[in-house]
Amino acid sequence: MDSIIARTLSKTYRSGKSETHALRGIDLDIPAGELFGLVGPDGAGKTTLIRILVSLILPDQGTASVGGMDVVRDYGLLRRRIGYVPGRFSLYQDLTVQENLHFFASVFGVNADEQYGSVREIYKYLEPFRNRKAGQLSGGMKQKLALSCALIHHPSVLFLDEPTTGVDAVSRKEFWILLSQLRSQGMTIFVSTPYMDEAARCDRVGLIQEGKMLRIDTPSAIVREFPLTLYALSTDRMSRVKADLSGCAEVRSAFAFGTNYHLTFYTEEGPRTCVHLLQQKGHSSIRLEVIQPGIEDCFMYFMKEA
């Protein structure tokens, strides 16, 4: 059974005479129990889509339902069944960890102390800080508190808007482990992120750009769909690679990936022409080899082709 369904969702923001098309006809079918990742650059419409699904804003067109409840008509019921962690920390910074949890527990009509069980996995990180003001927590701890508050009422669907933005690498990893644990308990999770490497941890990912869903598939299927041969390039003068390659018509795409450049070419001759050109420009110890594309390469490709 599908848990999150959207049909031709559109949303346009107007301010004065300028219009921003945040969403242009989004279709979604996410089965219950799936960990779904929404990936896209800033301004792609990720937050707008989530805010519609959690009933915070109304779509201009289209319909959506979560767990069988319409996001416009049944918003009252819907809000009892979902958890939402907004991109911006939205708990009371001047209240302590415990006070925040207790407040949201009473708002949802559950007993916070009894519910500690359900958020135990997360709360164990927070326990030592329970009397600290939420505003004085680190970024990672804030996110764990936000997650605890969103889970206090046992939601069946959890929405997270860029939960790992501005959080250090270790906390990010911990956070994703928590999400997989929740998923294994049967919760449907919808998470947006600008970090493509995180997409590989999802059951399926949706690639969104300029309000349109480019692709929805499992990470491995997306990688398989990569139609080109991908090369990794390294030379002794990496800082000049971009400028020196710009004159080469054979290069289809070039993106910096860590210490390498990932390249694709229009023709079979491409790699040889490119190495030749770089040698002329004074590069040495040039290494160009075929590699398996990662999910980020695929996103870069699909976004460029869209």
Q: Which residues bind another protein (CB under 8 A)?
A: 54-56, 76, 79-80, 82, 84, 86, 88-95, 99, 103-104, 106-109, 133, 149
For another protein, the closer CB: 145 or 207: 145
Contact 216, 205 (CB under 8 A): yes
What residues contact residue 112 under an 8 Å CB cut-off, 6+ apart? Answer: 101, 102, 105, 106, 152
Query: In DSSP terms, which residues pair with 233 in a beta bridge?
Result: 261, 288
> What's the closest the beta carbon of residue 155 comes to another protein, in angstroms?
10
> What's the closest the beta carbon of residue 30 comes to another protein, in angstroms?
18
Contact 101, 91 (CB under 8 A): no
For another protein, the closer CB: 17 or 88: 88
Q: Where are the beta strands (DSSP E) in 218-276?
A: 230-234, 251-257, 260-265
25-55: string of b/e by CB count within 10 Å (b at 16+)?
Answer: ebebebeebbbbbbbbeeebbbbbbbbbbbb
For another protein, the closer CB: 153 or 201: 153
Contact 268, 225 (CB under 8 A): no
> What's the closest the beta carbon of residue 6 comes to another protein, in angstroms?
18
Angle between helices 238-245 and 270-280 (to 10 degrees): 120
- Report residue 109 as tokens: 């009509």
> What's the closest the beta carbon of residue 56 comes to another protein, in angstroms?
6
For another protein, the closer CB: 89 or 255: 89
> What's the closest the beta carbon of residue 77 comes to another protein, in angstroms?
9
For another protein, the closer CB: 126 or 149: 149
> What's the closest the beta carbon of residue 72 comes to another protein, in angstroms?
14
For another protein, the closer CB: 95 or 238: 95
Cα(67)–Cα(180) distance, rounded to whole angstroms? Answer: 20
